[in-house]
Amino acid sequence: MSVNLHSQLQGIAAFVNAVETGSFTAAAARLGVSKSATGKSVARLEERLGIRLLDRTTRSLNLTHEGHAYYQSCLKVLEELSTAEALLASRKSTVTGTLRVNLPVSFGRMCVMPVLMEVADRNPDLELDISFTDRRVDLVEEGIDLAVRLGDPGDHASLVGRRIGTQRSIICAAPAYLKRRGRPSSVDELEDHDCLTFAKDGRPLPWTAAGANGVFRPLTIRPRHTISHGEALRDATLNGMGLAYLSTWLAADEICSGRLEVLPIPTPAEDGPITALWPKSRDLTPKVRAAVDALVAAFMPLAPWDRVALQAT
């Protein structure tokens, strides 16, 4: 730090404390220096600025008009410095306290919970408070430290987001169903099969697959059965009720064991992002940083469930 900058900071500290305490004597006691040193620091600051900041009497200090404006600016500078120091301190401090996390029901239980349990195991002073819901929660209003969302995370000015993975889906079926009904190899053949669709807000979601020209497009599926719970949809597929468009994280174990087979109908490499979100108004505390870093390490660049799915296609 240069001598000039050091002197500037000394002058600002002396000036702000003099205003807050109302006297050079009290400001000096707060700063741990002499009354004379405090007065000289403010005097040098005024000289450098070329304006009078304080009107001095034997009994009081009063801000001038220019002094009031400068005081407000100094408060902002000191606040920025305090924030920067707090951020650096947070990166060095230990992971402690209660981490309140909101997770999607199926993905949270199957994929995120194992990672968070490892984080808690590595940090004995960390306590987890985890809620599960597929609705969008207000993190600030509900006091949530961290949320994980599938698909479009939304545009929220009050939140900070970090991509922790990618969601991908494949068309699959149980071997028993394929033996009974045949194995479709193109989107044109899907209409001859029983299809199971996932419903959101009461509406079946489309599948996305490539046609004969290799172009991916949304497919409006005429479902035989519609199921609005991911794990229940997977279970119905396992029971041979039809074909399903399943997220790889939901079907990977069954694909690996051979209980489900991936059909040779190309689907996009990405349905949407998997995102970690936390309130912008709060510092990225060590507990949140530890959780987010662990999720990125576990799911990026290629999640284990996607490695299984890619090997099967």
pLDDT tens for the chain, 313 residues long, are: 444 677 778 888 889 988 888 888 888 888 888 889 888 999 998 998 899 999 988 778 889 999 898 988 888 888 777 767 766 665 556 888 899 999 999 999 999 999 999 999 999 999 999 999 988 888 888 889 999 999 888 767 778 889 999 999 999 999 999 999 999 999 999 999 999 999 877 788 899 999 888 899 999 888 999 998 999 999 999 999 999 999 999 999 999 999 999 999 999 988 889 999 998 866 678 899 999 999 999 999 889 888 876 776 6
- pLDDT value of residue 110: 94
CATH number of 97-166+272-300: 3.40.190.10
Domain boundaries, the chain: 3-92, 97-166+272-300, 169-262
The Cα 301–Cα 134 span in angstroms is 25
- pLDDT value of residue 280: 81
- pLDDT value of residue 312: 67
Domains 3-92 and 97-166+272-300 share a fold: no
User: Which CATH architecture group holds 169-262?
Assistant: 3-Layer(aba) Sandwich (3.40)
Has domain 3-92 been given CATH number 1.10.10.10?
yes
Residue 208, CA atoms < 13 Å, CB-side half-sphere: 13
Which residues neighbour 278 within 8 Å (Cβ) at sequence distance 6 or greater? 139, 145, 146, 147, 159, 160, 284, 288, 292
Which token pair is 17? Answer: 């404390």
